[in-house]
Amino acid sequence: MTILEAAAALRARTVSSVELTRASLDRICKLNTKLNAFLTVIEERALARAAKADEELAKGVDLGPWHGVPYAAKDVCSTAGIRTTCGSLLFKDHVPDCDAAVVERLARAGAVAIGKTGLHELAYGITSDNPHFGTIRNPWNPDCVPGGSSGGSGAAVAARMVPMALGSDTGGSIRIPAAYCGTVGLKPTFGRVSRFGVMPLDFSLDHMGPLTRTVRDAAVTLNVLAGHDSRDDTSSTRPVENYLPGENLSLRGVRLGVPENFFFERISPEIESAVRGMVRTAESLGAHVMPVRVPDIAALNAVGRVILLAEASALMQPYLDRRENFGADVLALFDQGRLLAATDYVNAQRLRRVMRDEFNRLWEQVDCLFTPAAPIGAPRIGQTTVNIAGGDEDVRLASTRLVRGINVLGLPALSIPCGLDADGMPAGLQIVAPAFQEARLLRIGAALEDATEFHKLTPPE
Amino acid sequence: MVVALQKSLTSAFVILKILMTDWKKIAEARGLNIPAADLERIAPSLDALEAAFRPLTASIPHETEPAVVFHATTEDVR
């Protein structure tokens, strides 16, 4: 069931929260040995919270659509009294004494936390092939990666273990697993969702958001997560909206930009075909499709990499002499960050402002951009290079090159399923909107979802 | 002819090596405990990033401040 289906069923008394929670636990029990999506399952606590939700709903206490619905949190989200590892040996026994703001908000909305999902070590990579907690596998093909770093969240939602799992996104870590696992992934505007209590990877690029099966479920989750939090210095005071799109949506009048440069260069033909199919669907719903030239995304990616390498290494500096505690790929990134010049970091943050202003001029022409979320379907576990359009490319750079720049700009972006590639692996469409235009983004996504069936595709069992 | 070509290629390589950043020396100067084999492995990534990034800095308007505390819109609403 989706979140909204579960909410309706709970109010119609055709299902109880305990039954929903039990069903989630049964799915985890059945599939987690194969997929390794969950690091921690909190069965007793979840069932107790579900029983309380049933009592509350029976008494007429209704906290909204999340009341009594189970979910999972990426293991970077602090959970009071529950181990929070960040996928790292350094924190393998870390038990926080407070909840992250996102966990707090979901608890206030009556949601039932069911466990913590696995991730790429320290959320610093895209394979989720974790040397300390095991490889997370893609439900569509267990020989393939689920993407990352929120790989456990992507796998858990795709395998119908939970209707929503929280993710964090520093350079694509929500949208990449969403694309590779065939789920919806929403990275809101920088500052829209509090990062308080989330183990940081990068001070100025981290974003929190949900992975779900439908766009409306992402919207109903954002309704809970969005809002100012004085404990997060980057949190925006801009008022929140009702993000849940209505029914019978039209895209009439929407100026839809399709990049002529960068985004459709060096991508798999099936992914291109799937994304362009969604452009045609949007056009049939009334959108005005406009080819546009976007600012230099390769430059934006270089800026993003300098910022990420420097900030992540600064953050982890106290631990880096204990080299045996890190996986080789992650350690290599921390070493790179320590070797960069301070002037490069400062200039990267200066360029970020210049590029934001360039991108803002693009929003005078169009209301949103349609791009692929990833140029390829999920790579195989252990695969280091991929051949795209006749050239070999590092899997990590290929997976991040269409999404990383959006973090640098802080813009909201949504990945939704748009088909399958030749190997039967999901393809993702990325929709990008101007800052704080999540409502527009979700309305466009919901209109496409209503007109297509891709979100209903399920992995083979 | 072949010898001349080899000589010019060698000179070009030497110039390139001089222009390229010596990551090993930087690591030593900063007292970073990074094993030589690990440095060798990451050097190509750093070289590529530097080559992509450094030319961009020439275009930064002089008065542009860094966005260390970044806001996604130009008007700060916090």
Burial of A230 by CB count in 10 Å (0-12 exposed, 13-18 middle, 19+ buried)?
Answer: exposed
Strand pairing report for A164-169 and A129-130: unpaired
pLDDT at B68 over 80: no
For residue B19, give how far its alpha carbon lies from the nearest alpha carbon of chain A (Å).
16
Indicate left, alpha or beta for A63 from its phi (over 0: left) and psi (-120 to 50: alpha).
alpha
Give the active site residue among A74, A168, A235, A399: A74
Tokens standing for residue A374: 């990833």
pLDDT of residue B5: 56
Q: Report the residue from B61, B69, B77 with minimal CB separation from A234.
A: B69
Is the ipTM higher than 0.95? The answer is: no
Tokens standing for residue A84: 């929070």
pLDDT of residue B78: 47
What is the rounded CA–CA span in Å between residue A187 and residue A189?
Answer: 7
Q: Check CB contact under 8 Å for B67 and A349.
A: yes
Per-residue pLDDT of chain A (461 residues; tens, 9 = 90+): 999 999 999 999 999 999 999 999 999 999 999 999 999 999 999 999 999 999 999 999 999 999 999 999 999 999 999 999 999 999 999 999 999 999 999 999 999 999 999 999 999 999 999 999 999 999 999 999 999 999 999 999 999 999 999 999 999 999 999 999 999 999 999 999 999 999 999 999 999 999 999 999 999 999 999 999 999 989 999 999 999 999 999 999 999 999 999 999 999 999 999 999 999 999 999 999 999 999 999 999 999 999 999 999 999 999 999 999 999 999 999 999 999 999 999 999 999 999 999 999 999 999 999 999 999 999 999 999 999 988 999 999 999 999 999 999 999 999 999 999 999 999 999 999 999 999 999 999 999 999 999 999 999 98
pLDDT of residue A427: 98
| Residues of A with Cβ-Cβ distance to B77 under 8 angstroms | 236-238
pLDDT at B6 over 70: no
Q: Check CB contact under 8 Å for A339 and B46.
A: yes
Task: Specify the DSSP element, H or E, that contains A132.
Answer: none
What is the rounded CA–CA span in Å between residue A369 and residue A267?
Answer: 17
pLDDT of residue A49: 98
Q: Report the residue from B38, B60, B73 with minimal CB separation from A347.
A: B60
Find, in chain A, the residue whose alpha carbon is nearest to that of B66.
A350
Phi first, then psi, for residue A418 (nearest 5°) are -140, 15
For residue B1, give how far its alpha carbon lies from the nearest alpha carbon of chain A (Å).
33
Q: In 3-state terms, what secondary structure has residue A234?
A: coil
| Residues of A with Cβ-Cβ distance to B41 under 8 angstroms | 332
Please check whether residue B37 touches A, CB under 8 A. Answer: no
pTM given for the model: 0.94
For residue A416, give how far its alpha carbon lies from the nearest alpha carbon of chain B (Å).
23
Q: In 3-state terms, what secondary structure has residue A135?
A: strand
| Residues of B with Cβ-Cβ distance to A436 under 8 angstroms | 72-73
